Structure 1
Amino acid sequence: MEIAGNAALVVVDVQQGFEEEAYWGPRDNPEADQNIALLIDTWQATGRPVVLVRHDSPERNSPLREGHAGNAFKTYVEERRGKGTGPELFLTKSVNSAFYGTPDLDSWLREAGVRQIVVAGIQTNMCAETTARMGGNLGYEVFFALDATYTFDGEGPWGWKLSARELSRATAVTLHDGGFASVVRSEELVAAAK
């Protein structure tokens, strides 16, 4: 794996509101936060661009709504803001893809000559996956740091239920099989970035 000197780390929705277990239910991957922090540290130490994405939910009862404490970044992300030697972008969105946020992510990446992105964050099968898919569609080489993401148990039509682990595996298979992204581990990215 080769990671470009200007590959951007896109950290999706690592917000306090995702700690509200009563709202979201059971989650997977308890090591995700540690891995996200490691990726941010590595990207900042090597001067690579970091994009911090915040979801401003339009839903009245969402823990991620503006004005609610849950809208804020988790403490370990907030403490790292502005600490890198490379460029940093903060953007907000109200839909799944970070490419539909403000300011415009695609324009920012293209102006910087970025062709590779690494996606990490929450939720694996929602905003992280959607951002990765769209990045692939837009022509970026996308690396999806599966162990630096997590999600929650879900329920679909007809009473179908999948565990968080099953949903994460489905995301990994979809991104890999569909050619949207290379699904990798954080340690591989860190080793390649150093």
Structure 2
Amino acid sequence: MTKSALLNIDVQRSFEHRPFWQEDDLPAFQHALSRLIDGCQTRNIPIVDVFHVNPEGVFSLESGWVTPMTFLSHTPQKTVHKHVHNALLESGLDTWLREEGITHLIIAGLRTEQCCETTTRVASDIGYKVTFVTEATMTFPMAHADGGIFSTTAIKRHTELVLADRFATITDVDGVLAELDQAV
């Protein structure tokens, strides 16, 4: 039997203090992530809050910004700090998940193409079944070296393209909740 956990990656106040921060996609992200968390809680799926920590700046513990974004009100079953882009290997999370018998990871959080995508790739490579819930991830526009701007939609589409059927199942909140209901 598959046992699942939701990884809520880097949904922390630190991002609100970065120069690229913008709230264009925030309302949709908040709604999707809140629905996903509520749905997982209702189904007794453990929620793991993952926070990125750096030695200095707004991602340092001393900054006071390595805390959940204010719209979050859940109580996670586990909280870990990471110092690299993936949430599994140096945070102790992989060990905890295996001790709990968890074999399926649901990925959500910030940023779609960075820590969420990297965690997905690593999780798949080390044997987890992974579901990537794109609508419950958020990112920001990025400028290419040639001056071209990649929109959040383009970045998310690219992430889905490179993860689908290689590293993860790509779905939305309704899809993952239906998947969890069928697994019971």
TM range (shorter): 0.7 to 0.9
Partner of 1:85: none
Instruction: Please list, as runs of the form range in 1=range in 2, the aligned pairs for 1:66-145 lying within 5 A after superposition.
Output: 66-77=61-72, 79-82=73-76, 88-102=77-91, 104-145=92-133
Q: 1:26 to 1:44 in 2, by over 3 A?
A: closer
Structure 1 Cα separation of the partners of residues 140 and 21 of structure 2 = 6
Q: State the shift of 1:25 in Å.
A: 4.9
8 Å contact from structure 1 (residues 28, 165) kept in 2: no
TM-score by length of 1: 0.83
Deviation larger for 161-170 or 114-123: 161-170
**1:192 equivalent in alignment to 2:179:** yes
2:140 to 142, 152, 156: 152
Unmatched tracts of structure 2, length 5 or more: none
% identity of equivalent residues: 30
Q: RMSD in angstroms over aligned alpha carbons?
A: 2.2
What amino acid sits opposite 2:81 in the alignment? T
Deviations along 1:101-136, whole A, 9 cap, x unmatched?
43x111111112111110000000000000011111
8 Å contact from structure 2 (residues 20, 140) kept in 1: no
TM-score by length of 2: 0.87
Structure 1 Cα separation of the partners of residues 130 and 27 of structure 2 = 24
8 Å contact from structure 1 (residues 12, 127) kept in 2: yes
Structure 1 Cα separation of the partners of residues 79 and 43 of structure 2 = 19
Structure 1 Cα separation of the partners of residues 108 and 29 of structure 2 = 9
8 Å contact from structure 1 (residues 29, 147) kept in 2: no
How many pairs were matched up?
Answer: 181
Structure 2 Cα separation of the partners of residues 155 and 56 of structure 1 = 25
**1:64 equivalent in alignment to 2:59:** yes
